[in-house]
Every structure is written in structure tokens, then in C-alpha cells.
Chains A and B, each alone.
Chain A
Amino acid sequence: DIQMTQSPSSLSASVGDRVTITCRASQSITSYLNWYQQKPGKAPKLLIYAASSLQSGAPSRFSGSGSGTDFTLTINSLQPEDFATYYCQQSFNTPRTFGPGTKVDVK
């Protein structure tokens, strides 16, 4: 199975900050990497798919990059509604696996 790791596990930031979250796969997944945002008590929301494609409706301040084993989610100019937990997920093969999540909270 492909293992996904994320760093950091949590971070504190302020509105307007640039935030970077890293996701690493235990083997190459080419660009089969998706990013989700989840708020407490809510279902996850797709932000980025295929490593760098912005999902329709997702704000343009979110961007993704990377390929192979190393990926990054960047939030430019953090907004109040962005405080949430972010998960990466590989869709290269089954079982699909999610990273453990990165919680972004208020500094």
C-alpha cells in the first residue's frame, strides 16, 4: 500500500499569511494527488486534483504543485474561512490512501 505523510501536522497562521503544506508518498504516484479541505462536522471539499488543477469553485488562492512523491498545497493570503484541516489523497492505485491531515488554526 502507498503511505501518505503530511507536514506539518498542524500550524498556526494569521489572516493574510501564505501557508504551505507538504504531502509525501511512499512511492511515485505521478500526478495522482488530490487535496481536500474539511471543517468540523462537515464533509470534505475537493480543492485540487491531479496535483495542480484547481477544482471548479475553489478559490484561486489555493494552488498545488509537485509530482512523483513530493507535493505541496499553498494558500496565498489566508482567509478566515480557510481555517480547517487539509488532507492529501493518492489515487494512483488501490487502496486509495489519505494523508493524516494538517490542521490550520488561528495564530
Chain B
Amino acid sequence: NAGVTQTPKFQVLKTGQSMTLQCAQDMNHEYMSWYRQDPGMGLRLIHYSVGAGITDQGEVPNGYNVSRSTTEDFPLRLLSAAPSQTSVYFCASSYLQGAKTEAFFGQGTRLTVV
């Protein structure tokens, strides 16, 4: 049972570098999303998607891009990494069936920008 798979688990970047965090789910979920977790702030939504070809911004989208070419994959791109992007990133997916839709999370990616 793969569920939601995120890679890598850990990453160190230099300021200005770009990279892509990968997220894949095998549950045929329509909804996928990216969150960042910072101490004392809970999880904040970066970008989300309600289906292939459809993406939208969340609460903290600046500095990040996403695309959704397939139902399964939802990569998150950091265009030019900044120390403020040091965080733990989670990908989550769920069905779109009204309010009662539990979100399944990946294992998280701990990113450090130096």
C-alpha cells in the first residue's frame, strides 16, 4: 500500500538553487495539495489541485510552482531557493466528496536552504 509517496525525505539547497519535490499517489484521488510546516504555525497551504490540468494558489504560494499533468503526480518546484523556504513540506491527497474527505499525507520532506 503505497498511498502518498514524497521524495526526497531530506534536502539541503544553496540560496538561489532550484529543485523539485516529487509527490505521487496511487489512490486515484482528485484533490492534491502541498503544505509547509513551520514551528508554531501549523500547516500552511502552498498550492492545490482539484484534478489534472487544474491548479490554484493557497495561503503561501510565492516562490513555488506546481503542475498537475496526471491524476497521480503533483510536483512542487522551488524556483530560486531562499532561507525563508527552510521548512518541512507535506504533500496530501483526498477524494472530492464533500466535507467528509480524509486527507492522506506523505512522509514529508525536510528542506534546508543555506
Whether A and B are associated in the same complex: the answer reads no
Name A's B-contacting residues (CB within 8 A).
none
Name B's A-contacting residues (CB within 8 A).
none
